[in-house]
Amino acid sequence: MKIEVFFTPLGLTAGDLAGRGVVVIDVLRATSTIVSALASGAKAIVPAASSEEAVRMTAKLEKDGFVLAGERKFLQIPGFSLGNSPREMTPEAVAGKTVYLATTNGTPALVTAQAGDPVLVGAAVNFAALAERARGLFLERGDLVIMCAGREKQFALEDAYTAGRLVKAVKKGTRKLTLNDAATTALGLCDRYADWREALEACDAARQLEELDLGEDVKFCAKANRFGLVPTFNEKRIT
Amino acid sequence: MKIEVFFTPLGLTAGDLAGRGVVVIDVLRATSTIVSALASGAKAIVPAASSEEAVRMTAKLEKDGFVLAGERKFLQIPGFSLGNSPREMTPEAVAGKTVYLATTNGTPALVTAQAGDPVLVGAAVNFAALAERARGLFLERGDLVIMCAGREKQFALEDAYTAGRLVKAVKKGTRKLTLNDAATTALGLCDRYADWREALEACDAARQLEELDLGEDVKFCAKANRFGLVPTFNEKRIT
């Protein structure tokens, strides 16, 4: 039985992930936003590696079937209808529509992860449902990959903490478990922070969001188990 | 005052490091090997990004002035005189010579780090001297970068633990300190493992070295403060 955590998608190739169960985590904010959008009735989310790609993908689509959403440096991309805030993903904004989402860290991580099978989308906001689903998968396969999006190609504490919580939940009672160094370290973070509120208080991304008056997003993303759904990413679409 | 830790060199560019004080850490084994070689009287170490580059660099040199050393998958590179073991770096093997070293993680990290000024080479084996030097630098500049080599482009626990010990030693008594998420997490590892022996027992690379009968290298690298020197990397040479 093996669980591997990766703190960023860098250095990972399709060959490392092909056919393995993969959970992608970007707590602040892409995966929280994706869960929120689907809970509000979005038809699907299509993650794009860049804003240009999102524009290109939607160039020939009927205007009323999709929404462009995303951020650069935390802020809404000019010309896009929505940013990357889970609070913006209201039924009014996204119900029945396909959301094309381009973010700095989360959507490129999802694009890297797509060789996995299945690819689950996780955050604090759907943690309990995610953990149950990931544990089932792990017990069936004896293997799980947890990929953190990280931040600006580097380690992000909020994702690593969530990965650690997931390792803890998934491995329960497992004997003969192999963890890679990142999984061992992520698991250790569970003892350091009582909950997501504490972990997010300690992390860089939350500080920067607060400076940009996006502190309400941090609060939203820190509240565990708002939603009971576990999005899966398949054939370029998250549903 | 700011300390940034990077768990791997991936995603870092010369621009991120230019003119900043940088410590490079690859406990198992490149930076331990470099310290050991210099302590045995090597004239200099030249880190190469690849074995091919090391061969190319030495093609026109006098044969008795240099030694080729390095590993691929932990084992000595065919045609090279030495592997990447600190125990091989005896005065008989390296005194008075320039060691051209090519390793999987450590020497590419050094090559990435060379925009720093100065670039210090650290490990457990020279930790006390390193910490004193790095603290002086930090107090003078108000800034320090600690770059872990990591392993196969991923997080390595032994390097992160050493980075955490260094953050702890360097920041002593500092008010108004900014740590990035990786520095915060590395610092937390200091409470988790009592010393390098414990940290190295928990890490993947040590397990793999032991499986390859290189457990003596792990013991060598785990013993703190064997050496009092702090190598610096400047103009392509570590002295």
Whether A185 contacts chain B with CB within 8 A: yes
pLDDT for residue B119: 98
CB-CB under 8 Å, B6 with A7: no
Angle (CA) B179 B188 A7, round 5°: 75
How many Å lie between the alpha carbon of B142 and the closest alpha carbon of chain A? 19
A134, A22 in Cβ contact below 8 A?
A: no
Q: Rounded to two decimals, what is the model's pTM?
A: 0.96
Per-residue pLDDT tens for B130-167? 999 999 999 999 999 999 999 999 999 999 999 999 99
Task: List the structure tokens of B142.
Answer: 């108000």
Which of B118-135 are b and which e, b meaning 16 or more Cβ less than 10 Å from the residue's Cβ? ebbbbbbbbbebbbebbb
Per-residue pLDDT tens for A216-227? 999 999 999 999
Nearest beta carbon to residue B155 from set A153, A185, A189: A185
CB proximity under 8 Å: B 200-229 to A: 202-205
Interface predicted TM-score of the whole assembly (ipTM), two decimals: 0.95
Per-residue pLDDT tens for A101-143? 999 999 999 999 999 999 999 999 999 999 999 999 999 999 9
pLDDT band for A164, please (50, 70, 90 cuts): very high
How many Å lie between the alpha carbon of A39 and the closest alpha carbon of chain B? 30
pLDDT for residue B17: 97
B168, exposed or middle or buried, with CB in 10 Å at 0-12, 13-18, 19+? Answer: middle
CA dist B222 and A129 (Å) reads: 42
pLDDT band for B235, please (50, 70, 90 cuts): very high
Per-residue pLDDT tens for A73-93? 999 999 999 999 999 999 999
User: Quick one: what percent of chain B has pLDDT higher than 70?
Assistant: 100
A154 has which bridge partners? A151
Nearest beta carbon to residue B185 from set A180, A181, A189: A189
How many Å lie between the alpha carbon of A170 and the closest alpha carbon of chain B? 20
CB-CB under 8 Å, B8 with A182: no
> Coil, helix or strand for A208?
helix
In CATH, what class is A2-230? alpha beta
Q: Which CATH superfamily is domain B2-232 in?
A: ComB-like (3.90.1560.10)
pLDDT for residue A80: 97
CA dist B196 and B27 (Å) reads: 10
> Chain A contacts of B204, Cβ < 8 Å?
180-181
- Closest among B67, B69, B58 to B30, alpha carbons compared: B69
pLDDT band for B59, please (50, 70, 90 cuts): very high
**Domains of chain A: which residue ranges?**
2-230
> Chain B contacts of A184, Cβ < 8 Å?
157, 202-203
CB-CB under 8 Å, B11 with A152: yes
CB-CB under 8 Å, B192 with A154: no
Nearest beta carbon to residue B155 from set A152, A181, A192: A181
**Per-residue pLDDT averaged across A148-168, rounded?**
97
